[in-house]
Structure 1
Amino acid sequence: MRLLYTLLFYLALPFILLRLIWRGIKAPDYFKRWPERFGFVAKRKSHSPLIWVHAVSVGEVEASRPLINGLRKQYPNHQLLITTMTPTGSARVGHLFGDKVEHVYLPYDLPFAIRRFLKAMHPVMGIIMETELWPNLLLSCQQKNIPLTLANARLSARSARGYQRLSAFSQQVITSLPLIATQTQADRSRFLALGAKPENVHAIGNLKYEIALPASLNEQAEAIRSMWGNRSVWIAASTHDGEEEIILNAAKQVRSQFPDLLLLIVPRHPERFDRVAGLCRRHGLHVLRRSENKPCTSRTQVMVVDTMGELTLFYPTADVAFIGGSLIPHGGHNLLEPAALGRAVITGPHYFNFTEITELFLAQSAAVKVKADAASLAEAVCALFADPKRRSEMGEAGLEIIRKNQGASNRLLNLVKRHILDEG
Structure 2
Amino acid sequence: MNKEKLSLRLYQILILLLVPVLLLVLIVRSFSQREYRQRLTERFGWLPSNIKPGGIVVHAASVGEVIAAKPFIDKLLITYPDLPITVTTFTPTGSAQVKKFYIDKVQHCYLPLDISFCVHLFFRLLKPKAVVLMETELWPTLIQRCYKSNVELLLINGRLSEKSLKNYKKLSWLIRPALNKFSAILCQSADNAEHFIEMGANADLVKNSGNLKYDISVTDELQNKISQLQKFIPEHRRLLVVGSTHQGEELPALAAYKKLKNDNPELLLVLVPRHPERFSTVTKLCEEQGFKTVTRSSKQPIIDDHEVWVIDTLGELLSVYALAEICIVAGSFSDVGGHNPLEPALFSKPVLVGENMANFKEITQKLTVANGIVQLEQNSELAVKLHCLLTDQELAITIGKNALGVVLANQGATDKSIETLQSLLK
SS at match of 2:340: coil
SS at match of 1:99: coil
Native 8 Å contact 1:370 1:377 kept in 2: yes
SS at match of 1:294: coil
CA shift at 1:308, angstroms?
Answer: 1.2
State which drifts further: 336-345 or 35-44.
Answer: 35-44
Native 8 Å contact 1:58 1:89 kept in 2: yes
CA shift at 1:199, angstroms?
Answer: 2.9
CA shift at 1:215, angstroms?
Answer: 5.3
Native 8 Å contact 1:342 1:392 kept in 2: yes
- How far does the alpha carbon of each residue in 1:356-388 deviate from its partner, in whole angstroms, 9 at most, with x for none? 112322232211122564x52111111101011
Q: 1:30 to 1:372 in 2, by over 3 A?
A: farther
SS at match of 2:31: helix
| 1:146 aligns to 2:146 (yes or no) | no
| 1:211 aligns to 2:184 (yes or no) | no
Aligned to 1:42: 48
Aligned to 1:200: 205
| 1:137 aligns to 2:152 (yes or no) | no
CA shift at 1:229, angstroms?
Answer: 3.0
Native 8 Å contact 1:327 1:371 kept in 2: no
Native 8 Å contact 1:232 1:385 kept in 2: no
SS at match of 1:152: strand
Aligned to 1:101: 106
Native 8 Å contact 1:80 1:101 kept in 2: yes
Cα distance in 2 for residues equivalent to 1:29 and 1:220? 25
CA shift at 1:154, angstroms?
Answer: 1.5
Question: Superposition pairs for residues 5-16 of structure 1, below 5 Å?
Answer: 5-16=11-22
Q: Under a length normalisation based on structure 2, what TM-score does the superposition of the two structures give?
A: 0.93
Aligned to 2:349: 343
Q: 1:327 to 1:171 in 2, by over 3 A?
A: closer
Cα distance in 2 for residues equivalent to 1:286 and 1:303? 9
CA shift at 1:159, angstroms?
Answer: 3.0
Q: Under a length normalisation based on structure 1, what TM-score does the superposition of the two structures give?
A: 0.94
Q: 1:225 to 1:293 in 2, by over 3 A?
A: closer
Q: 1:379 to 1:218 in 2, by over 3 A?
A: farther
| 1:273 aligns to 2:279 (yes or no) | yes
Amino acid across the alignment from 2:8: R
- Equivalent in 18, 37, 56 of residue 24 of structure 2: 18
| 1:378 aligns to 2:383 (yes or no) | yes
Aligned to 1:329: 335
CA shift at 1:226, angstroms?
Answer: 8.9
Cα distance in 1 for residues equivalent to 2:29 and 2:361? 28
Cα distance in 2 for residues equivalent to 1:371 and 1:269? 27
CA shift at 1:411, angstroms?
Answer: 0.8
| 1:180 aligns to 2:181 (yes or no) | no
Q: 1:378 to 1:141 in 2, by over 3 A?
A: same
Aligned to 1:124: 129
Q: 1:100 to 1:215 in 2, by over 3 A?
A: closer
Aligned to 2:270: 264
Number of matched pairs: 419
Aligned to 1:170: 175
Aligned to 1:296: 302
Q: 1:131 to 1:298 in 2, by over 3 A?
A: same
Q: 1:238 to 1:209 in 2, by over 3 A?
A: same
Cα distance in 2 for residues equivalent to 1:388 and 1:307? 30
Native 8 Å contact 2:51 2:126 kept in 1: no
Structure 2 residue runs without a partner (length 5+): 1-6
Cα distance in 1 for residues equivalent to 2:78 and 2:103? 16
SS at match of 1:391: helix
Cα distance in 2 for residues equivalent to 1:290 and 1:45? 34
Structure 1 residue runs without a partner (length 5+): none
Amino acid across the alignment from 1:315: Y
Q: 1:272 to 1:227 in 2, by over 3 A?
A: closer
SS at match of 2:108: strand
Aligned to 2:3: none
Cα distance in 1 for residues equivalent to 2:44 and 2:145? 15
SS at match of 1:247: helix
Cα distance in 2 for residues equivalent to 1:412 and 1:122? 22
- Equivalent in 224, 230, 235 of residue 241 of structure 2: 235
Aligned to 2:425: 421
CA RMSD of aligned residues (A): 2.0
CA shift at 1:190, angstroms?
Answer: 2.7
Cα distance in 1 for residues equivalent to 2:141 and 2:51? 26
